[in-house]
Structure 1
């Protein structure tokens, strides 16, 4: 069963060494991510799946290299030697697990930004836990990068309402609302987290239980990109 899930964003500056002198700017975000991941692990999970956007869809090897060289710092975040490199979201999700002291089984799964909703549902089926398994998820992805003038991309008036709708869906454990996100609109608004969120929504929807209990720990946009940190705990079994 899906026991618990943490939803976290993927700014490279989440790693203090990347942020350097500006590391304190993301202290609140870092604490929220640490808390979310710790609560997933405290739920007694037997395996953790990390899901994030990547250039391909499918499971990634633990031997893939997790580093931040593309972001200006040759910092290794894991033990993989490569030569293949993990996408940023998987590298940061694994880093958060290591930071929390998780040494148990983990599955790294990437899903393309262009994945359809049906693709995400199929990913959820592939990631489904075995009958007696207690699965935790770390779902990594950002909201819109078109929120305001300081955003990385030209502002769009639809961006903040979409981020707000995602926040509300995560708080309510509303799997249907996540699965209803329009891939084309999310692509237009530079929403990195759409596909991973939909994989998580599909996993919870197929779990045979009621809606997950959701809690948003933090929603912020310090660099003009929507970041949300949330927790889902598995719903009660349906009668």
Structure 2
């Protein structure tokens, strides 16, 4: 059963070594992420599952290793404590590994990558399956909102981006699984949203848990990309 969740964005710039001289710009975002992950630790889970966007779907039982070398930093990060860590082929999981370095969560860990074009029903089903893996399951869900919020955004300006992100932010703050489950895959892809599939895994995991409440800790669009941080418990 899902007992807690943290939702964080996954720009590599969250890692100060990657951001270099611009690191201070995202300090409020880092603080919000740390607060959300603190909720996971306080939930005392039997299992922690990290879910992030990836090029292809894959589950790493026991976690694995992720490298920051693609971003100019010679550093390897670990997710979990497995004896023979496999490479985590997902930038979002690398960012998750960096976030989790700062908080001790004494629970086994699985890492899960989900592709951006994954069908909605499959993501909801995956979430339900993850929630059934242990009596107390916590999720760390990594994904960004629209990358089309400004003229200088990676996806240029799209007038649909701001209302899309506003709806997502409200749903994350209210632990509204129906809104997250109803996010349109085609529109999400057009707006370059990396979080749609991970958020729908969260929605599926939470559907069988009564009484979950949400709190929105961060909702901004630096660099023209929607970043949200939320905690559910």
Query: TM-score surpassing 0.5?
Result: yes
> Counterpart of 1:151?
153
Please say which of residues 114-123 and 26-35 is displaced more in the overlay: 114-123
Residues in 1 aligned to 2:150 and 2:27: alpha-carbon distance in whole angstroms: 22
What stretches of structure 1 of length at least 5 have no aligned partner? 234-239
The yes-or-no answer on 1:163 pairing with 2:165 is yes
Q: Is the 8 A contact 1:50 1:94 kept in 2?
A: no
Q: Is the 8 A contact 1:56 1:110 kept in 2?
A: yes
Residues in 1 aligned to 2:99 and 2:183: alpha-carbon distance in whole angstroms: 27
Residues 46-92 of structure 1: per-residue CA shift (max 9 Å, x gap): 21110011122231254643112222222212278777343011122
Alignment of 1:80-91 (within 5 A): 84-91=87-94
> Counterpart of 1:236?
none
> Counterpart of 1:202?
204
Q: How many residues align?
A: 230
What stretches of structure 2 of length at least 5 have no aligned partner? none
Q: Is the 8 A contact 2:217 2:229 kept in 1?
A: yes
Q: Is the 8 A contact 1:54 1:111 kept in 2?
A: yes
Please say which of residues 55-64 and 30-39 is displaced more in the overlay: 55-64
> Counterpart of 2:226?
226
Residues in 1 aligned to 2:44 and 2:60: alpha-carbon distance in whole angstroms: 24
> Counterpart of 1:187?
189
Residues in 1 aligned to 2:44 and 2:17: alpha-carbon distance in whole angstroms: 31
> Counterpart of 2:44?
44
> Counterpart of 1:95?
98
> Counterpart of 2:17?
17
Residues in 1 aligned to 2:64 and 2:44: alpha-carbon distance in whole angstroms: 27
Q: Is the 8 A contact 1:64 1:86 kept in 2?
A: no
Please say which of residues 40-49 and 195-204 is displaced more in the overlay: 40-49
Residues in 2 aligned to 1:85 and 1:204: alpha-carbon distance in whole angstroms: 25
In structure 2, do the counterparts of structure 1 residues 164 and 65 end up closer, same or farther at CA, with 3 Å as the change threshold? same
State the 1:217 CA deviation.
0.4
- RMSD between superposed Cα atoms in Å: 1.8
Name the SS for the 2:202 alignment partner.
helix
In structure 2, do the counterparts of structure 1 residues 226 and 68 end up closer, same or farther at CA, with 3 Å as the change threshold? same
In structure 2, do the counterparts of structure 1 residues 11 and 57 end up closer, same or farther at CA, with 3 Å as the change threshold? same
